[in-house]
Each structure stands twice: as C-alpha cells, then as structure tokens.
Structure 1
Amino acid sequence: MNEDKLRAEDLYNKIIPVHMDANFFFERAVRSLDRNHYDKALKYFGKAVEYEPENPVNHCNMAGIMSEMGDYSGSNSVLAQVLKDVDPAMTECYYYMANNFANMEQFEEAEKALVTYLEEDSEGQFLEEAEEMMDLLHYELNRPAKLHRIKSREGMVEHENARALLEEGKFAQAVELLEEIVKNHPDFLSARNNLALAYYYVGLFDRAKETIGEVLEQEPGNLHGLCNLAIFYQHEHDIAELASLLRTLAVTIPFHQEHVFKLATTMGILGQHEVAYRHFRRLLKDEDINGDPSLYHYTAAAAFNCERYVDAERCWKYAQRLDPESDIPKFYLSQLHQYQEGTSVQPKISYHYHLPFEEQLKLWELNGDQMTEEIKHNPLIRSSFFWALRHGDVGTKLQVIQAFAWIADDEVKQALQAFLQEPGEDMELKEAAALVLKGMGIEGDILSLDEVGESSVEHVKDNLLKKDGNWQLVIDKTLEMMGRSSSNQQQDVQSLWMEFLSKSYPDTPQLQHMEAWSAALEYWCAKIDGDSITYQEVATRYGLSVSTVSRYARRMDSVCHMKGRKRSYL
C-alpha cells in the first residue's frame, strides 16, 4: 500500500505542467506551418490572438495564413481590424491588404491601399516590393497612381531637385532647398554634403567648411565629405592639410559605384590624373554604366592629362560611337590630333562632358570680367568657341556670337566677318553677328547691316514686338518709377532698352520679372547720365534684392557694354 502511494507521488512529481499562453500557441502554429498544415496553424494563431488580443503581430500572422489559404477577403477583414482597433500605426497592413486586393483582381482597391502604405509608412520595409506592385497596377489600370509622396523616402525627391539646381548653376535656390532638407532631416548626410558645395559655389566658404565638418563629425569616413574637404583645402591653398588628405584618398579603394565616381572626379580636379584614370577604368567595367559616352570622356580626359594619348584617343572614339550626334568627342579628338601634330600647345582637358565654352558661359553670369580675361588667354577655350561657331547647332552658334560681344578682339572680328560671308548660314544668326560687330564700332566701309540682308535693327525690333508686345511694359514701368524725367532721360530709357533687345535678338530673355528689368534699365540710364546711383538704392525703391538688380544689370552690360558710356553714345 505504501509502495503504491510512493509510486503515485513519484509519477506526479515527473509531470511537467503545460502553461497555455500566447507563446505556446504561437510555437504550435509555427510547427504546423513547417509541416504545411495551414488549417492547424490558423487555429493556433487564432488561439494566440485570444490570449493576447492587443498584440498586432498575432493578428497579422492569422491574416497571413488566411491569405495563403486563398481567403483574401477574410484576411483583409483581420488587417482592417488591426488598423482600426489594435494598432493604427502598423502601416504595413496596408501593403498586405494591397496584395490581397490584387489577388482578387480588385486593382482600384489595391492601388488605394498601396498608395496609403507608401504615403504613411516611414520604415520602407516593403518599399521595393511596393514599387514593383505599383508597376503592375499601372499596367492593369492603364494609368499611373496618384502618389504624392513616399514617406520612407521623405526628402529624397527634394534632394534630387536640389542636385538638379546645382547642375544648372542655380546655387542660391539650391542653398535654400538644401537648408530646408537638412533642417528636417539632420542625418541626411548626402544633402548636407551638397549644401556644403552650394555654400562653396555662392562664396560662403566658411559655412561650406563648417557644414563639411558636421558631416565628418557624424561619419568620419564619409567619402563625399572627405572629397569635398579636399576641394576646399585646395581653394584655401592649405598645402599641408591637402597633402595629408590626398595621401589618404590616393590609397582609398571604394566599393560602391557612386563612391568610385566621386573619388575619380575629385582626384581629377585636384590634378591627381593617374589615380583618376585608374578609377575611371574601373567604372568602364561596370555594365550598368559603361554605355554612357560621358564616362568615356572622363576616362579620356584623365588619360590625356597623364599623357596616355593612345588610351585617350580610343576612349574619345568610343564616346563618338555612343554619341554620334554630339560635337564634344569630335572637338577633343581634334585637340588631341593638333597637339600630336605639333600645331598647338598641350592643353589641360576638362572632365566636364561639354565643350569648354559652355562652362564659361555659365560662369560669365557670375563674373563676366574675370571670365572674359580667362578666355582671352586660354587657347583651349578660345578654340572651342571658334569650333562651335563653325560646327555647332543654331542655338550653340547664337550663344557663341553673343559671348563674342564680351571678348571683342581682332580674332573675334575676323571670325564674325567670315561668318557673315558663309553661304547658307541662318539669317537671324547673321543679324546677331552684324549687331555684335556694330557694337564693336565696325560699320561703314567694313560692314553695313544692310549687307546682311533686308533685315535691320528696326526689323529686329518689329519682330520682337510681334513676338511679345509686353516688352513695352518695361519702358512704361521704368518711366513710372523714375517719376518726373526730362525728354533726354525718356529717350535714354527707350533707346537703351531697344538696343538691348536688338542686340540680344533672337535669344531675347523671357519677360518673367518685369520689375528687375526696369530696375536694371533705370540703373544704367542713371549711370550714363552721370548719376552716382547704387544697386542698393535701386533695389530699395523697387522692392528687390541687391543681387537681383546686380544680376539683371550685368546681363544688360554683357550685351550693351555699358561701363563708361555717356549719353552721346545712345
């Protein structure tokens, strides 16, 4: 009897009690899933929900099983309950619901759920899958989705816009946009790097360097930041710091394509052409980008600058095959051949994929006098101008002709006179060339505008007014702001404005900022009248910034050569 009692007690002591909680049923559900027993898994997940009704994960697991079993409607009901009653912040439920709707071929509902996921989810866990589904829905619905933003990529679209502004030379606008991005996303280091560059381009060097310091404080090995810092050291002529940083960059071997390109271009700018060439060669092996003609130009430029002329020629010829309509590879091949034949000095080739004069035109708007001096003494840039006048398209030739008004030396005079004799050239281009020559004081026996054709300055004016009658509003606005003015002053305003339009024709600017043009016009009219007016005075009266008045006044000066003029010239 006692022995039987002992056996019963021993048996009881060996029994392990089962604790029926949510984890117990969760583990059972997972084991059932491993055996493809979906019905049991669903039952066990349902039990887990009963034990922990506030846990959204168990609800979602149950919805997932229902979806696997083909009960898409039931799955969506569970997901909707999660969002409504359990955890409204669980935004991935919208992605799951979109999948269910798509499987039921309810594409409109799928699109709504997917757009909600993209616009509300900050983590982006299913971002790639969501973008693939968006492509499917675009195909099925035969229209793009009305997607306003992707929250997990917040700041990315704005950043791309800012980068575009930098490439277009709109540095002040880029600064404004990038400052806003950095304010809202302090950890967005790419935006902070580009903000540093934007500061650099507008001349705020201390702020540029400070911003790079902020990048490197967060991430000391940030390659973009280190490359930008090297550029700044070069600008400051800080030889010691630059040399130290160059030693680090020279032995750096980046893995990512974007980093390789950044390092290659930076080393090229810093004159480390062998290192740049080595990295560009690496990029040419990347099948994703080796169809880009500009990459072959970068490689050719690095090769030429480190005297690898055979490699440079091969790369430019390949760029020409990839981009047969472009004059860029043709121009640099001609430069290479001229140098090899001994008919020109060795130029330093720019890494930018454009003719050298195009870069100068962008920079002229910022500092015309300095750039004019540079072109006068840079044979590569000069030759690119004359090349473009012979071989460029209509728009390019017009830019060159207008730029020649800045240079106005004997070689320009001869080139424009020869251009006027070219048969088949566009008559409007010849008109522009004739006006530039007239601005240089060349007329009478040397050239008459009538020799260009029946067009004259009056003809150009008529065409302008037909094209946009609002040009008269600039004159009216200027006279209104000047108040009481003499007949001579009124004549100055009209004559100068029409001279600017005539000399700019046919590439006259759009009338998007009438007040700015009026301010610039009044400024120059006051100057030729001997008035000691300043940009600040004009800007205050017109309610504009000094930089705006200055920019528009420089544009007029670039065309009409205003500095030092008196009324007798009008």
Structure 2
Amino acid sequence: MKKSPFGQSDQAENVVHLELDAGFFFERAVRSLDKHQYGKALRYFRLSVEKEPDNPINYCNLAGLLSELGYYEESNEILQQVIHEVAPEMHECRFYLANNYANLQEFERSEEFLLEYLQNEPYGEYAEDAEELLYMIAAELGRSPRDPKTATLMPAYMKEHEEARRQLENGQFQKAVELLQPIVEEHPDFIAAQNNLSLAYYYLGDFTRAFATVKKVLDQDSANIHALCNLAIFSDAVEETEMSQMLTKVLKKLIPLHPDLLYKLATSLGILGEDQTAYRLFDRFLRLEMTAETNLYHYLAVAAWNIGRFREAARYWRLGLELVPDSQVFRYYLEQAERWQGRETELGRLSYYFYLPFQEVFMRLSWHKRVKIELNTVLFESMLWAFSQGSQSSRLQVVQILGHLANDKSEAFLRRILVKPHEDDELKRMTLLVLRQMGTKPPYMIWFQGQLLELGLDDQGEATLSTQFEVWSKILESTLDGMTTYTDRQREDVQWLWAGFICQKGGNLPKVRSFGAWSAAFEYMIGRYDHLELSQRKIAEKYGVSPSTVSHHTKELLPIMEQVLK
C-alpha cells in the first residue's frame, strides 16, 4: 500500500471522522421519533443536552418530548432549569410550564405561568393560545379570568415553596429540602416553609433536624397547629411516648375553623391512632368542602373501618372509585373490604396513607433503608393482589420488599415467581438479583423463554457455594467494585445486564478463565450504552487483560444488552 508523506496510508485519508456533537444526537433523536422509537429519542435528546449544555433549545426539545409522553413533572424540572439557569429570557418556557401544570390539574400554578408569559410576551408566538388557556382555567376554578395587565404575581420564593410542597407530596423529600433550605434562610418568618422543611427532614430520617426545625416554629408561634401536629407525630415515631400523648390530648380538644387546618388535624390524629376523633373531623371537613380532594374519601373510609363502621368504609371507597375509576387504591380496598368481612379483628388498624399497603412499605424503605418491616396479613394480601391485578411497577416493588424481609416465607414467594411461565422476563431478572442479594443458596429453577432452567448446579448436580452460578456472582461483585465512580443508574444497568446474561445462558454458562475479562466486558458494554469515552484497550488495561479477550466477551453480551437495556 502506498504511503502518504505523513506516514499514513492514502486509504486512511479518506476516512471521515464522525463528530458526535449535539447536532449529531439531535438528528438521531429526530430519526428515532420518525420511527416511533421514543425511548431512543429521549436518550439522544439527553445526550444533546450533555454535549451542548448552554443551548436552551436542546433542553426544550427534551422537555417537549417528555411532556408528549406524559412525564410532565420531569419536563417541568428541565423547563425550570432553563428559566433559572440557562436562558431566563426564554419566556416561552413559561407557556410550556403552564401547559404541563394544566395537564397535572394544578390550575393555579398553570395560571401563574400563563400570566408571567403574557406579561413578558404580550404579543408573543403563544399569546393567543395563552389567553385561551387562561379562560379555560378560570372556568375550571369557577371564577372570571385574571387580567395579565393588572394581575399581581406570586413572589419567586412563594413559587419555590409551592414547588417544594409538590415535591414533598410526591415523596421527593431531598428535592424538597434543597428548595426549602434557602427559602427558610432568606425568609425566617415564613412559617409554612419551616413546617414543610421539618416534614421533609422527618421523612428522610433526619430526626435531629426535624425536631430542631419544628421547635423553631413553636418558638415563633406556640399555638401553630401544623407544628404541634408535626411534633406529636415525630415524638410518636421516636417513641417519646409522654410528649406524644400530651400533645395528642391538646390536639383532640381543638376545632379549627379554617378547612386546611381542619384537614391537617384530622390526618395527624388518624396517624396517631385517634380514629374516632379523626373520623369526626374528616366528616366535618367533607360537609364544609363541596369540592374536596378524592383522597379524603380514603381517609374517611380508613377512619370508619378502624372504628368498626365497615359498611360505611366500603361506601366511601366506592365513592372514591366512582370519582377516579382507574385508582388502584380505591379498587383494592373496595375489593378487600368484602373479603375481610368477619376477619376485621385479625387485620388490625388500616393505614391512612393513600397508597396500597405494599406501596407504603416500599416508600418507607426508600426513606429509611434500615426500617423494620413486619409481614402482617394486610401487607401480605396486598402483595398477592399486586401479582394478580397490579401493574408491572407494583410487582417490581413487591419483589424488592420481599428481598428486604429476607425470611423463608419471602424466599419461597420469590422462587415461585421464577417458575411461573407467564411472568415477565424483566421481573424474573429482578427476582434472581434479589435472591442473590438475600444470600439464598442455589439451585434456582427458572422458566425462561419457553424452557425450565436450573441455575447454580455443579458438574455432579450438587448445589454448593462453589457452583458455576456463584462464580458468576463473584464476577458481578468484581464488576461493581470496579464501577465505583459510575452513577447508581449505570450500576443498576450492569446488574440487569448480568441477570439477563445468566437467564439467557441458563445451564450453558461459559467457563470462566478470567474474572477480570468478563468484568471488563460488562463495564465496557455499559460505557458503550451510555456513549462514554471508553475504549476496549483502556478497559482491558484497567482489569489487566487483553483487548482481544474483552472484544470476544462483548460480542456475547451485545445481543443480551439490546434485549435488556431497551
């Protein structure tokens, strides 16, 4: 081959180097949209943001697709980032936010952003649409539309507080803390923010800060009902019985006139076990509020159930289901109310949280990793219900709860999942990972892709800790040890890839000559999936193996990755 003057072949001069810039990923995203491959389009839009973080158009493209797919809250987070950090002058983002909040049924928030948009862009591209949406929102709220020219907008810190409150309600406690801390520092007299901050600390398990914050509120306002309720609940949680009982006696004597305070008091007393008083207050609230939130029917039903009014409880759950036909919570409790007849004393008190029992436990586990979970009848039956009628995400939550319980009953439940022919492959991969994390011993029988496989047997058919499955478990541990600088999501992805490979190969797992070679291959595939700057040579050097061996193993993993990490 003829050499060029620079020591490169003529053929090499004809190689076109592909620029993986924001434009490249934008084009890929558009192509994926044309093919209705929305997951890929999202990934490419995210990469375009990473490649060009100062370009607000990239953020808007990503936010727009998230909104189209119904991920309004994540879309809002990105649009807020544009307004506050990237391009404050890009006022159309306020119109996009208004649309998202309207879809979330948060009409007051939507109205605020519409007014902001129209005040900044009275003749803007979306001005006509914004005015039309203002009229629609006014109709929803039962009043006349506000005039953008004369409307007084909510101060910025109040908007931040509303966002923090929404994050708190959605279980995003760390985000709520990050929003509330600067508000409290800049506005120490803003008591509502302090009360919400104390709750966020409590749900994160930071009891020291929770108590300190609520006591600051009571130093400013010793009769603040929100703070007194919070202090009673916090005291009960840490078993400061004397304080909790004293505060509960005080709270039971209160009859607030303001509906919000009445609602807070009723909910708090219900959590504290004062079901009779909670029932009376919830009933009073329902009579005062003609347009009460649907959650109220669940709270009333639980209070009624806990004081022995079982038919009344079923009636409230039925009313809730009529208002929200797709609600799993109302449907579950209404169905169970009929099955629980005659077993009421066995079941004990029901929880006031507006979740299925297993969902409440899952949330508590996400708040406090060391929380103790008791497998009572209500929890166990709700998990059985999830597997017969619940969603895929519900099943995945149940599997993780069973892994946390880590007892003989939960192990038996998990092993039964593996052998069900019609159960989802993704769920079986998660189940296999959880069983491994529990330290259960192989073999594992698993129905996968039309055949019953037996994982974890040695050549003599003995289930010992030196089985092939255990070898592959050590490879996963080695891989995770080498990926300490990766994100939690990337470390989860490598576990999914490992589980998919184990399930796919079944009893034909390759013989392992080098842990490092396979660990390198797994890590490289995750890097490739996320478009990281990671070559096979570089990863081979990290694990002290040859690039050719890594290349050979990645070819085996590639078809698995395409199935598992869609």
Provide the TM-score with structure 2 as the length reference: 0.52
Partner of 1:214: 216
Shift in Å, 1:161: 2.1
CA contact (8 A) 1:430 1:452 kept: no
Distance 2:370 2:184 in 1: 35
Q: 1:268, CA displacement in angstroms?
A: 0.6
Aligned to 1:268: 270
Partner Cα distance (1:364, 1:431) in 2 = 21
Please give the residue correspondences for 1:134-149 in structure 2 after superposition, counting only pairs within 5 Å: 141-144=127-130
Following superposition, the deviation at residue 189 of structure 1 comes to: 0.7
Determine the C-alpha separation between the residues in 2 that align with 1:387 and 1:409: 20
Residue matched to 1:257: 259
Partner Cα separation in structure 2 for residue 154 and residue 479 of structure 1: 36
Amino acid at match of 2:360: E
TM-score normalised over the length of structure 1: 0.52
Matches of residues 113-512 of structure 1 in structure 2 within 5 Å?
141-144=127-130, 152-290=154-292, 292-342=293-343, 345-371=346-372, 374-375=373-374, 377-416=375-414, 418-419=416-417, 424-433=422-431, 436=434, 447-450=445-448, 452=450, 490=516, 493=519
* 2:229/2:265 contact within 8 Å kept: yes
Alignment partners' CA distance in 2, 1:494 and 1:365:
31
| Shift in alpha-carbon separation, 1:288–1:338, aligned structure 2, 3 A | same
What is the rounded CA distance, in whole Å, between the counterparts of 1:217 and 1:435 in structure 2?
A: 50
Letter in 1 for 2:311: V
Deviation at 1:418, TM superposition (A): 4.9
Tell me the distance in 2 between the aligned counterparts of 1:429 and 1:419.
8
Deviation string 1:21-54 (CA, Å, 9 cap, x unpaired) is: xxxxxxxxxxxxxxxxxxxxxxxxxxxxxxxxxx
Structure 1 residue 267: Cα displacement = 0.4
Q: Which of the two has higher C-alpha Rg?
A: 1
Deviation at 1:263, TM superposition (A): 0.4
Q: Give the match for residue 84 of structure 1.
A: none
Q: Letter of the aligned partner of 1:197 in structure 2? A: L
Distance, in Å, in 2 between the alignment partners of 1:497 and 1:402 is: 24
Q: Is the 8 A contact 1:404 1:412 kept in 2?
A: yes
- Give the C-alpha shift of residue 142 in structure 1: 1.4
Distance 1:511 1:361 in 2: 29
The percentage of counterpart residues that share the same residue type is 33
The CA distance in 2 between the partners of 1:479 and 1:154, in whole Å, is 36
Tell me if the contact between 2:180 and 2:197 (Cα under 8 Å) persists in the aligned partners: yes
Return the alpha-carbon distance in structure 2 between the equivalents of residues 294 and 223 of structure 1: 21
Counterpart residue identity of residue 194, structure 1:
N
Q: CA RMSD in A?
A: 4.6
Deviation at 1:252, TM superposition (A): 1.2
State the distance in 2 between where 1:493 and 1:196 align.
44
Residue identity opposite 2:380 in structure 1: R
Letter aligned with residue 278 of structure 2: A
Once the two structures are superposed, what CA deviation does each residue of 1:44-90 show, in whole Å capped at 9, x if it has no partner?
xxxxxxxxxxxxxxxxxxxxxxxxxxxxxxxxxxxxxxxxxxxxxxx
8 Å CA contact 2:204–2:367 kept in 1: the answer is no
For 2:347 and 2:193, the matched residues in 1 are separated by 38
Aligned CA distance change for structure 1 residues 448 and 252 (closer, same or farther; 3 Å): closer
1:214–1:357 Cα change, 3 Å: same
Q: Which residue of 2 aligns with 1:121?
A: none
Distance across 1 between alignment mates of 2:260 and 2:268: 12
Question: 1:238: Cα distance to partner?
Answer: 3.7
Q: Aligned residues, how many? A: 354
Is 2:236–2:272's contact at 8 Å kept on the other side of the alignment?
yes
Q: Is the 8 A contact 1:450 1:456 kept in 2?
A: no
Paired letter, 1:142: E
Instruction: Give CA deviations for 1:535-569 in whole Å, capped at 9, x if unaligned.
Output: xxxxxxxxxxxxxxxxxxxxxxxxxxxxxxxxxxx
Conserved 8 A contact 2:161-2:193: yes
Contact kept? 1:165, 1:171, Cα under 8 Å: yes
For the 8 Å contact 1:233–1:239, the answer to whether it is kept is: yes
Distance 1:294 1:273 in 2: 17
Structure 1: which amino acid aligns with 2:346?
V
Q: 1:407 to 1:258 in 2, by over 3 A?
A: same
C-alpha deviations, 1:258-306, integer Å up to 9, x for none? Answer: 111100111011111111111111222245433x332110111111112
Gaps of 5+ in 2: 1-90, 96-110, 132-147, 456-477, 487-512, 534-542, 544-566
